Structure 1
Amino acid sequence: MRLSLIAPLLCALAVPAMAFDQGREVPGGDAVLAPRERVAVENRILAERFETLLPRLMAETRIDLWLVLSREYAEDPVYFTLVPQPSHAARRTTLLAFHRKADGSVDRLVVNRYPLGEPYTSVWSGGDLDAQWKALGKLIADRDPQRIGINTSRQWPVADGLSHALHQRLVEVLPEGYASRLVSAEDLVVRWIETRSATEKAVYPQVVALARGVISEAFSTRVITPGVTTTDDVAWYIRQRFESLGLPAWFQPDVNFQRQGQACERDSDFCGAEGVILPGDVLHTDVGFCYLKLCTDTQEMGYVPRLGEDDVPAGLKAALATGNRWQDLLTSQFRTGRTGSEVLAATRTASEKAGIVSRTYTHPLGFFGHSVGPTIGMWDDQSGRTDGGQWPLHPDTAYAIEGNAKAQVPEWGGQWVQIKLEQSALFDGRRVQYLAGRQTRWHVVR
């Protein structure tokens, strides 16, 4: 990797990091780039991905020419991961072509009324739609690729972005006999979406730390007044806090509580309720936002002390430790080449052997919150037969280590409590590392 490409980018990100106070993350200054400043960073990351990842991934998936064809406001899901910023749409019709040459390098070409500029080379610009499509046909004839990848897929929605109408137009302008060269580019799309570059791996910890810091704020007396504040109040605080930093939430935050005397069964799918937060409540939140095109998905637990309590009850501390033990059992099963279903099966076996009541529903992270790659269980399906379960693990891929473990709490008369955890992590091909640590101690609202 060229140092000249990476060094300016890391310098641009040399902003105050999160400060750590006894295991709880708190904001340590304004660590978020302004929207204008993000453009250069995102474009350098894109250039790096084109230089270091795309040639290798096209060779791995045996695609000679990859076509990503989009119309304005009907963009292919992968489109915005491929174009420089600022960009709001595939203006009119934008035809992207990536040609893998004999020397292994990849030409990045655009056939578009409005040229994209670097890192693309424009091979046609103008206003006539028919001429635009004919120019694409000529490009294909001139390059003479044997395997032309198009974004069609029965399994992966993200890899199924080629519309029926654009497919028809493509077939119309292909040279004679070339239609048989069209192949699904789904493997290439998944590998492109799931693989993280060197700089993305360097940046991702700070992105995740921002999420954990906002949760720490939310689960404190800065936000919660027991007996007054509702779970919905906290959820909206989290969303508005992200928005104040210019960080779009990719789903509405969820906040709920478990309470002594409110049943949580051993085999319940979900334990939790919404409403006014009271002393003695166990809190849970699920939040996610995207920054520098990288998405987070985080779940953590909090406790609201009762009058006279100086600490979290020992039974709840033990329950969180059980959740951490489940995480360890799961991440120890990650092996390059193992499928998601194989990791799930091994985790279930290890959890049962350890006497842990758990469910595993871990998914890839990256350009999308629920991204593509190995599916390691679903909250409502632990069979391993779900879509994505047969996709193998690859190095340099990120995951939301998500699931729950249940434990009985003596202080609550043996009532079950569900510990719902989700932390962002990177698999480097050998081990799983949490991008910004993980919760091992309760957030305490005080």
Structure 2
Amino acid sequence: MTLIAPPDPARTMPLPLREQADVRDRWLTQRILDLLPGLMDRAGIDLWLIVGREDNEDPVLGTLLPATWLSARRRTILVLHRSDDGVTAAAVSRYPVGQFLPAWSPGEGSVLPAEESQWAEVRRMVAQADPRRIGIDVSASFALADGLSHTDHQELTAVLGPYADRLVSAEELAVGWLETRLPEEVAALHPLNRLVDEVVAEAWSPAVLTVGTTTAADLAWWIRQRLTDLGVAPWFHPMVDVQRAGVAPVEECGVLLPAVPYDAPVLPGDLLHCDVGLSSLGLKADVQRTGYVLRPGEADAPAGLRRALAVGTRLQDLTTTELVVGRTGNEVLAAARAGAAAEGIDGVIYSHPIGVHGHGAGPAIGRWDDQGGVPGAGDRLLHPDTVYALELSVTVSVPEWGGQPVRMALEEGIVLTETGVRYLGDRQTELLLVRGS
């Protein structure tokens, strides 16, 4: 059993924003030098054009801007050229873009209006590089790789002339760039995932949770405020729900969902669950935790609830066993579900990549409302050095609750390597015990 302990006042707080910016810019340099050449070779892209306008940025663009840029400025065009010497990173932009080589300055030696001059410089650079395949961010399967706007696509195609025939989807490259993590990034995700445990422990302690008074909605808002105050902004509103003996769950799209109202006070004997996502250093974490509110005189949760968690962790094991580099997301889903069926586990798997975006680019491993495989995104191959939110649930009948079905939902951060899966932070294997007073 795991008792909720008071938060440790000596824990390491997230880095100040200025220090975070230094780290992120250092990572960006390292990613361009160490990751991008191999990713471009794998995708067969010689030149990658990333175009975005202020207030309508390509999602990939934000991952290449300096940390002090919170958005694009006017029209920002990045030109990444693969050569024998690595990748040359240049910016065709009205303002200097961090470490990118400035390739254009409007008004200098040009009789063209600034916008026409900017596109003309792109054409000149493409002609000089003479690439066989020019990658642009258009994709039917991945929204995060589909960031080139209709207008920019039209203008780019027009200015390139005969070179427009060499334009190809950069889907493989864009997804690879978004999903692949440096070792230093993975290392930073361990404390970020552990921070969820600390915030949940605080939220479910008597300092915040008054059994019989505090509601699930109160706890969700408290967690959101706490994350914001800590400087690790949530990337979605925290979800807190309650399951209770005698209150049967409701079915939606084949999945059982808690029926206790969010504005109902938490009571002794309740099963308390939360889903929390936070952001730091340009990375996301997504973790779920489940606890039991002890009744007077109880020292542990009922055996049926403890067994439900054990069934959930078993489904995690079955899923991570099938997470093998070179398989597709749909293959992993089918194999894990077959293993679960063989053991009589009633489970649903809906795991997703996570990185700079919460629901990140990469192979989808099921959806909660569709266990038959995900067309397109589920067909993508798994690659090493990628991070996932291992998200799933099981339904188990609890004898102590009169055989009432309980949905045990779990979610952990994991990293896929060439040698297998590692958990980020501390995996939950026991119910958290919440004291009534």
Report the TM-score range of the alignment, normalised by the length of the smaller protein: over 0.9
Paired letter, 2:68: P
Is the CA contact (8 Å cut-off) linking 1:24 and 1:443 kept in structure 2? no
Corresponding residue number in structure 1 for 2:95: 114
The farther-off stretch of 239-248 and 311-320 is: 311-320
- 120-129 or 24-33, which deviates more: 24-33
**2:325 maps to what in 1?**
336
Cα shift at 1:25: 9.5
Identify which of 271, 274, 278 aligns with 2:258: 271
Is 1:255 the counterpart of 2:244? The answer is no
Q: Which one-letter code corresponds to 1:208 in the other structure?
A: N
Paired residues for 1:133-282 under 5 Å: 133-174=119-160, 176-264=161-249, 268-273=255-260, 274=262, 275-282=264-271
RCO higher in 1 or 2 (8 Å CA, sep ≥ 6)? 2
- Structure-2 residue corresponding to 1:310: 299
Task: Give me the TM-score of the superposition, normalised by structure 1.
Answer: 0.92
Residue matched to 1:9 = none
> Match of 1:124, SS?
coil
The one-letter amino acid paired with 1:220 is S
- The one-letter code sitting in structure 1 at the alignment partner of 2:240 is V
Aligned-partner Cα distance in 1 for 2:83–2:179: 24
The CA deviation at 1:251 is: 0.6
1:46-67 deviation digits (Å, cap 9, x = unpaired)? 1111111001100110100000
Between the aligned residues of both structures, percent identity stands at 46
**Paired amino acid for 1:279:** P
Supply the distance in 2 between the matched residues of 1:126 and 1:85 (Cα, whole angstroms): 24
Deviation at 1:395, TM superposition (A): 0.5
Residues 206, 257 of structure 1: alpha-carbon distance in 2 compared, 3 angstrom cutoff: same
Give 1:188 shift. 0.3
Query: What are the within-5 Å matches in structure 2 for residues 92-131 of structure 1?
Result: 92-103=74-85, 105-118=86-99, 120-126=100-106, 128-131=114-117
Q: 1:269–1:380: 8 Å Cα contact kept in structure 2? A: no
Deviation by residue 1:92-117 (Cα, 9 ceiling, x = unmatched)? 111100000134x0000001110113
Letter in 1 for 2:400: E
1:46 equivalent in structure 2? 28
Letter in 2 for 1:200: E
Conservation of the 8 A alpha-carbon contact between 2:242 and 2:271:
yes
**How big is each residue's C-alpha offset from its partner over 1:126-179, in whole Å with a ceiling of 9 and x where there is no partner?**
2622111111111111111111001111111111111111112212221x4211
- DSSP 3-state at the match of 2:236: coil
RMSD: 1.7
Shift of 1:85: 1.1
Matched, 1:418 2:407: yes
Which residue does the alignment assign to 2:370?
A: 381
Would you say the 8 A contact 1:375–1:386 is kept in 2? no
Could you tell me whether the CA contact under 8 Å between 1:115 and 1:125 is conserved in 2? no
Aligned length: 423
Q: Is the 8 A contact 2:4 2:205 kept in 1?
A: no
Deviation string 1:244-277 (CA, Å, 9 cap, x unpaired) is 0111211100101000001137964323432211
TM-score by length of 2: 0.93
Q: Paired residue for 2:287, among 298, 315, 318? A: 298
